[in-house]
Amino acid sequence: MFNVSFFINNQRLKSKSYKTQKGAYKAIYRHFVDNSAASFIHAILTSPELGSENYTHIEQVPFDEPSPISFSLSKEWIKVRAQALARDKSCCQICGASKTVDNNVVLEVDHIKERATHPELALQLSNLQTLCSVCHRAKTNNFIGKKDNQ
């Protein structure tokens, strides 16, 4: 068990126990992030294995905030992408290419209104279309060209 006491300006806020060392480090890290406006923040971690460790700066905490999952790996995107492919019968909506005709065709799901300019539509099925890689590249290059010329 890992016990952590949290302090702000030398006043104990709370003490809490954590099952894992990583969980304790994460809580200490969050304590520093959430209370960064305070003039003096510290935390004390105690455990039978470690003894006592005193943290007075966020840089001392051996914890890295995990990076967010990229959009293309998110559960929401994977689900709506599959819905778009099924709706479009895995067929390019511009040229009609499909794997049933040509096994080498690479199909991609395109945002009709680009994510860069319309992030609120990123997961809207009505804003998605299935395109082959050739048509998708042409559409994307055309979008980039328009954006650069504005």
Q: Please write the tens of the pLDDT for every residue from 90-123.
A: 999 999 999 888 888 999 999 999 888 899 999 9
How much is the pLDDT for 141? 81
Is the pTM here over 0.75, yes or no? no
How much is the pLDDT for 149? 41
How much is the pLDDT for 91? 96
Higher pLDDT, 80 or 10: 80
How much is the pLDDT for 96? 95
Question: Domain residue spans in the chain?
Answer: 2-60, 71-149
Identify whether the C-beta of residue 24 lies closer than 8 Å to the C-beta of residue 18: yes
Task: Inform me whether the pLDDT recorded for 35 exceeds 70.
Answer: yes
Identify whether the C-beta of residue 2 lies closer than 8 Å to the C-beta of residue 17: yes
